[in-house]
Amino acid sequence: MPKNRMAVAVLASGRGSNLQALIDACDAPDFPARIALVLTNVPGANALARAEQAGIPTAVIDHRRFPSREAFEAAMRERINKTGAELVCLAGFMRLLTPGFVAAFSDRLINIHPSLLPAFPGLRVHGRVLESGARFTGCTVHFVSAETDAGPILIQAAVPVHPGDTAETLAARVLESEVRVYPQAVRWIGEGRVRINGAVVEIDGVAAPVAALINPLPEAATAGVRRQPTISISEKK
């Protein structure tokens, strides 16, 4: 294990797939981070069980027990700071954060969102993607700025929309990429390779893909690939 692994606090409200990806990544001997705290605002969230299973300290701070958003966030800040966390990862944390909370963790707060930001911030993402007719969606890991689902982008995965997708099938395909890119982003930060330059994130030693992704595929390339149903002239009538 690297010495002085970066302490990370993970904030989650639900299922915890992205948390689990981070937990699993931390098992690798060369991973430069460790999870020092899993904090949830939802008592009984599945993320809690995942943390407990991995022997990670947990905290439940139920927002409903606080008179204001500020008081709730003050309690979270105190608990996070106690762990000495150098990075805070939002992993399906479904409370809006005030500019005060974001400023308190300036450049140390990252989020994963299931779309290619800046497209489709907010809720009900996959249904909105399908309604839009977009051929690609994806996921984004970004530093958090005061606006919802916005801030300098660390890494994205482009995910194709398939004919016949439902919000559920699309969410599942996007999640497969989420659990790959989130640990990768944390690794780069832990390795000290990431700088924020205005809206742009610079990462030492990374390369960009050369080829474009095209969806639908040109016909010559589709042998053996799922095709969009062809509508015959008689059906059209």
Asked whether position 216 contacts ligand GAR by CB under 6 A, the answer is no
Q: Which of 77, 138, 139 is nearest to 108 (CA)?
A: 77
User: CB of residue 63 vs ligand GAR: minimum separation in angstroms?
Assistant: 16
Q: Which is nearer to ligand GAR, 4 or 94 (CB)?
A: 94
- How far is CA 170 from its chain centroid? 15
Q: Which is nearer to ligand GAR, 158 or 217 (CB)?
A: 158
Please report, as residue ranges, which positions from 121 to 180 form the binding site for ligand GAR (by CB under 6 A).
Answer: 149, 175, 178
Selected from 39, 85, 91, 161, the binder of ligand GAR by CB under 6 A is 91
Q: Which is nearer to ligand GAR, 121 or 216 (CB)?
A: 121
Asked whether position 183 contacts ligand GAR by CB under 6 A, the answer is no
Asked whether position 113 contacts ligand GAR by CB under 6 A, the answer is yes
User: CB of residue 67 vs ligand GAR: minimum separation in angstroms?
Assistant: 25
What distance in Å separates the CA atoms of residue 71 and residue 132, rounded to the nearest whole number?
Answer: 38
What distance in Å separates the CA atoms of residue 84 and residue 39, rounded to the nearest whole number?
Answer: 14
User: CB of residue 178 vs ligand GAR: minimum separation in angstroms?
Assistant: 5
Q: Which residue is nearest to ligand GAR (CB)?
A: 92
Residue 63: active-site member: no
User: CB of residue 142 vs ligand GAR: minimum separation in angstroms?
Assistant: 10
Selected from 10, 50, 92, 189, the binder of ligand GAR by CB under 6 A is 92
The string of DSSP letters for 173-229 reads: HHHHHHHHHHHHHHHHHHTT-EEEETTEEEETT-----SPP-SSPPGGG-TTS--PP
What distance in Å separates the CA atoms of residue 159 and residue 136, rounded to the nearest whole number?
Answer: 6
HSE-up of residue 173 (Cα within 13 Å, Cβ side) = 17
Q: Which residues contact 103 (CB under 8 A, 6 or more apart)?
A: 146
Q: What letter would DSSP give residue 7?
A: E
**Which residues are annotated as catalytic?**
113
